[in-house]
Amino acid sequence: MTTFNAARSQALAKKLRALHVPGDPLVFTNIWDPPSARIALKVGKAKALATASYAIASVRLFPVTRVGWKR
């Protein structure tokens, strides 16, 4: 499991904010598993990737409760 790094998180947030330019909408490429992420990165046109944490957790076989879902 990866440890949270506040400085890295802040740096990534700053990069993401910089992609939001008035008049030039930021379009996220939605990925749902590691292979689709690799394809999106290989194509190379995506400025940012988005994901559904539940979808990734399901593919990785994590229990639903591990990603914060309550039934």
pLDDT of residue 68: 53
pTM for this entry: 0.54
Angle (CA) 38-19-11 rounded to 5° is 80
The structure tokens 């990165």 sit at 41
CB neighbour list of residue 55: distance below 8 Å, 6 or more residues apart: 32, 33
13-60 pLDDT per residue, tens: 999 999 999 999 888 888 877 888 889 889 888 888 888 777 667 767
User: How buried is 55 (Cβ within 10 angstroms: 0-12 exposed, 13-18 middle, 19+ buried)?
Assistant: middle
